[in-house]
Amino acid sequence: QVQLVESGGGLVQPGGSLRLSCAASGIIFSSTVMGWYRQAPGNQRELVATISSDRNTNYGDSVKGRFTISRDNAWNTVYLQMNSLKPEDTAVYYCNARYYAYSYWGQGTQVTVSS
């Protein structure tokens, strides 16, 4: 059974930083494309960042230069370092694991950027 457990969300002021973590189990983590997506109220879920098994990264245009995705295969964990946060980054952030035709989602963690 695949499980993705996100943590690290919360309330932060504009310009601040947060680091999200996603611990995975039940998958061959080192062979899996891991990603972060987000969904704000009234909006579709959108790509934040992905990282492949060989650590190639891809970012959504709105977060390039501010967010960094990384992975630790020893701990089956993917991270999202978020800097220079803006109110428009407010959303539920979801961890995703993609292995061939299979795609799995975490339960999401809320990030709120507000003064």
Q: Over range 54-82, report the average pLDDT.
A: 97
Q: What is the 3-state secondary structure (H, E, C) of the chain?
A: CCEEEEECCEEECCCCCEEEEEEEECCCHHHCEEEEEEECCCCCCEEEEEECCCCCEEECCCCCCCEEEEEECCCCEEEEEECCCCHHHCEEEEEEEEECCEEEECCCEEEEECC
pLDDT band at 114 (very low <50, low <70, confident <90, very high): very high
Mean pLDDT of 78-104: 97
Q: Tell me: the pLDDT tens digits for 8-32? A: 999 999 999 999 999 999 998 988 9
